[in-house]
């Protein structure tokens, strides 16, 4: 009886996950950067879905325990449960089916030392800003050349002569959307309004 119930629960979970394009779009946000929590408007902006569609998909994914939610002030945040029974496989599918920009974004999102990442797709280059200048241990950098700077070096160059960074700050996009990092205030104070990459909350 227990095995039948367990298989039934897994079957319902699979149907809930793959039953709609909207759900896949919402899942993609969580799978590409699974350590972050998002509120509904961030997911709406990243997916282009109507808020009601976002709410519906969040409810369904929460109901099967793939996402969990928490209240913080007047906002409700959602985050993927990385302990979910087939999280690694689900994330692997999303990464495999993603374009090179999303794939590098997904790989960088799990690197603890990475603060920010900027993509200049035309040049085929990604600038990665890290704590301590530690180079990310990416198994497959993919289609892009990687430039790595410590947050201290990035801040120094930004203050002294930011022209060398304009290939990323003017012509590139923010790959991770981690705008809460203190470095963003310095980027904005220097007069740069870096666009977020497609699908970045």
Structural domain includes residue 50: yes
Please give the helix or strand (H or E) that residue 200 lies within, else none.
none
Give the list of residues 6+ apart from residue 54 with CB closer than 8 angstroms, or none.
22, 26, 40, 43, 44, 47
Dihedral (CA of 189, 195, 200, 201) sign = positive
- CA nearest neighbour of 174 among 114, 117, 131: 117
Give 188-200 pLDDT, tens digit per residue: 999 999 999 998 9
147-164 confidence digits (pLDDT tens): 999 999 999 999 998 899
Domain span at residue 165 reads 99-196
pLDDT confidence band for 4 (50 / 70 / 90) = very low
Task: Compute the average pLDDT of residues 68-81.
Answer: 94
Backbone angles phi, psi at 47, to 5 degrees: -100, -25
| 125 neighbors 167 (Cβ within 8 angstroms) | yes
Residues 14 and 69 in one domain: yes
Residue 67 has pLDDT above 70, yes or no: yes
Residue 42 belongs to domain with CATH number? 1.10.10.10
Across 173-193, average pLDDT: 92
Domain-located, residue 7: yes
Number of domains composing the chain: 2
């Amino acid at each position: 009886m227990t095995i039948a119930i367990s298989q039934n629960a897994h079957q319902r979970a699979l149907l809930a996950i793959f039953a709609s394009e909207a759900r896949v779009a919402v899942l993609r946000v969580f799978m590409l950067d699974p350590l972050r929590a998002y509120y509904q408007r961030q997911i709406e902006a990243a997916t282009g879905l109507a808020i009601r569609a976002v709410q519906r998909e969040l409810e369904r994914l929460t109901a099967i325990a793939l996402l969990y939610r928490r209240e913080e002030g007047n906002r409700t945040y959602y985050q993927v449960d990385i302990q979910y029974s087939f999280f690694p496989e689900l994330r692997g599918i999303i990464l495999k089916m993603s374009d090179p920009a999303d794939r590098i974004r997904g790989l960088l999102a799990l690197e603890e030392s990475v603060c920010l990442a900027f993509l200049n797709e035309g040049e085929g280059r990604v600038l990665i800003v890290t704590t301590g200048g530690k180079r990310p241990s990416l198994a497959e950098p993919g289609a892009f050349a990687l430039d790595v700077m410590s947050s201290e070096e990035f801040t120094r160059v930004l203050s002294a002569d930011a022209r060398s960074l304009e290939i990323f700050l003017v012509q590139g996009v923010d790959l991770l959307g981690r705008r809460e990092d203190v470095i963003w205030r310095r980027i904005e104070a220097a007069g740069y309004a870096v666009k977020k990459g497609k699908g970045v909350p």
